[in-house]
Structures are given as structure tokens and as C-alpha cells.
Amino acid sequence: KAGVTQTPRYLIKTRGQQVTLSCSPISGHRSVSWYQQTPGQGLQFLFEYFSETQRNKGNFPGRFSGRQFSNSRSEMNVSTLELGDSALYLCASSSGQGGPDTQYFGPGTRLTVL
Amino acid sequence: AQSVTQLGSHVSVSEGALVLLRCNYSSSVPPYLFWYVQYPNQGLQLLLKYTTGATLVKGINGFEAEFKKSETSFHLTKPSAHMSDAAEYFCAVTVPVNNDMRFGAGTRLTVKP
């Protein structure tokens, strides 16, 4: 099976702009979770989508949003970018069926905000 | 909510020496525990996981971890370090009722020749 893919791999934006990141899960997986990774805060959970619905949400401002499509692909949007949004954004997919639901990660999108 | 604490942000070992990375968890219900490895500019790769059953779990690349309920620990070990093991390692916990995976702060492993 193909793994989790994320596009683009690298992005450079300026403050105030918005950005959209994309994640394609492993075939058959219905859950997609997003994480932000920074040197100072480590790995922080943003949100999880399952069957096109947001099922869990972390503690991030409303500028961070996401959605999931019927084919389970997910997008994450960040509006009004701030310098502190510079990070590696990781997407993970899983079956979402509960139980020991292992998450499989993509390579990440490195966002730099200037 | 569940959480994990990784003891030691940096661990340095010599090639061929024992690797021991420490992880303690907190959970009000029986947890599922994971170790992931991250190489520079890459995503996280699953090393091993504990769900139920045998408490000693073997993973890829010669790593193993033991679930100790009495100590609330899930330490990662490898008998003999290899240069290619140099990376950052994350312990993570989740519980059966949700998919909310919580990660530790990570431990950067350095392997000296």
C-alpha cells in the first residue's frame, strides 16, 4: 500500500497570508489527524477528521481549520499567518475504527513564515 | 487525559552499547503505547506498539519495549546501538475511547563511533 502523502513538502509564506496543506491517507483509512511540530513546543495535536467530520480538536486558535473529503483526503488551512506558525505540519492516517488504532505519518510539510 | 513523559531530552551512547530511552505514562484507563522514530526532515515511523497481551513488545530495527503497569513505564531498549539509530524518538499514548494520541517531548539519540 502507498503511504501517507503530503503536499507540498515545503512552503514559504509571508505574515498575513493564508495557506492550505493537503494530505492523502493510506487507502482504506478513514481518519486523518494533523499535528504541528516545532522545536519549542514539540508535537502538538491540531485536529482529527473521520468520515468528513471533525472528531477531535486540540487547543489551537480558529485560524487553524481543516476539512475532509469523501475520499478521506484532508486539507488544513491556516489564515492570517503569523511568524510563530512556522513549523513542520504532519498528517497521520489510521483506520479510525477504535481499538489499537495505529497512526501512520506522512513526511510533513515544512512551512516557513517570513 | 492521558499523557507521557520522556526522561532525558538527549541521550548519547557509543556504537555497540545498550540503548535505553525512558517513557512513563499517565492514563486513567488501560492505555495503548507507541514508540516512533523521526529522522531529520522526515515524518514519524512506527517502531513498535503495545496494545494488550504480551508486555514485552518487539519492533523494527532490533528495538523492543516492555510495558510495566506497576511502574507506569514503557521504556525502549536496543542491545547494541548502530550509527543509523541516531534520530529523535517519541513515546506516545492513546486510549481505546478516542483517537487522541499524546506525544512525549522526544529524546534525541546520538551514537558515537
Per-residue pLDDT tens for B15-34? 999 999 999 999 888 889 99
* B89-111 tens-digit pLDDT: 999 998 776 667 889 999 999 99
Contact indicator for A105, A4 with CB cutoff of 8 Å: yes
Q: What is the pLDDT of residue A99?
A: 67
Chain A CA closest to residue B98: A98
Any idea which residue has 519492533 for its cell?
A: B59
The verdict on a CB contact (< 8 Å) between A42 and B106 is yes
C-alpha cell at A14: 509571508
Give the number of beta-carbon pairs within 8 Å between A and B.
61
B103: chain A residues, CB-CB within 8 Å: 35, 42-43
Among residues B88, B74, B66, which one has the least CA distance to residue B10? B88
B36: chain A residues, CB-CB within 8 Å: 105
Q: What is the pLDDT of residue A96?
A: 79
A31: chain B residues, CB-CB within 8 Å: 99
C-alpha cell at A96: 479510525
Residue B65 has pLDDT above 80, yes or no: yes
A15 to chain B, minimum CA–CA distance in Å? Answer: 23
Q: Percent of chain B, pLDDT > 90?
A: 78
Which of B41, B49, B102 is closest, CB to CB, to A100? B49
Intervals of chain A under pLDDT 70:
1, 98-99
Binned at pLDDT 50, 70 and 90, residue B1 comes out as: confident
Q: What is the pLDDT of residue A98?
A: 66
The span from the CA of B91 to the CA of B68, in Å, is: 14
- Residue B105, chain A, CB below 8 Å: the answer is yes
The verdict on a CB contact (< 8 Å) between B90 and A108 is no
Among residues A38, A44, A49, which one has the least CA distance to residue A61? A44
* B34-44 tens-digit pLDDT: 999 999 888 89
Q: What is the pLDDT of residue A20?
A: 98
Among residues A37, A13, A51, which one has the least CA distance to residue A105? A37
